[in-house]
Amino acid sequence: MKVAAILLPVALSACATVDRPQLSRFEPLGTEAGVKTFKFTARADPWIYPVDTPAGEAERMRWLESYVTENTFCARGYEVTSRDVVAIEVGMGKVHDVFYRGRCKT
């Protein structure tokens, strides 16, 4: 039982790395008043990345951070300026798309 308790978080974190490209998308939008802006869309399911839970939101923010860092998009960091949730009926539970807008800090 102790082994399962240790391996479960490792297995879930491995899924998060694999899931990011399948469940999210980063899109540069251009500049507004000389500041780069972006849209980030992430899928929230009811099982692993629930829409309105601290753990689900933290994982989506890790995905966003990965996109920004891997592409050196915002040298001085960024801020999320809006968040909208749209429910999509799929299979046995409600799946959501979470739409974020953001901008680079100057």
Q: Which of 79, 69, 68 is nearest to 102 (CA)?
A: 79
What mean pLDDT, rounded, does the chain reach? 85
**Residues 50-68 pLDDT 10s:** 999 999 999 999 999 999 9
Over range 44-52, report the average pLDDT. 91
Q: How many C-beta atoms lie closer than 10 Å to residue 36's C-beta?
A: 18
pLDDT number for residue 14:
42
pLDDT number for residue 51:
93
**Residues 74-98 pLDDT 10s:** 999 999 999 999 999 777 788 999 9
Report the run of H or E that residue 3 belongs to, with start and end: helix 2-23
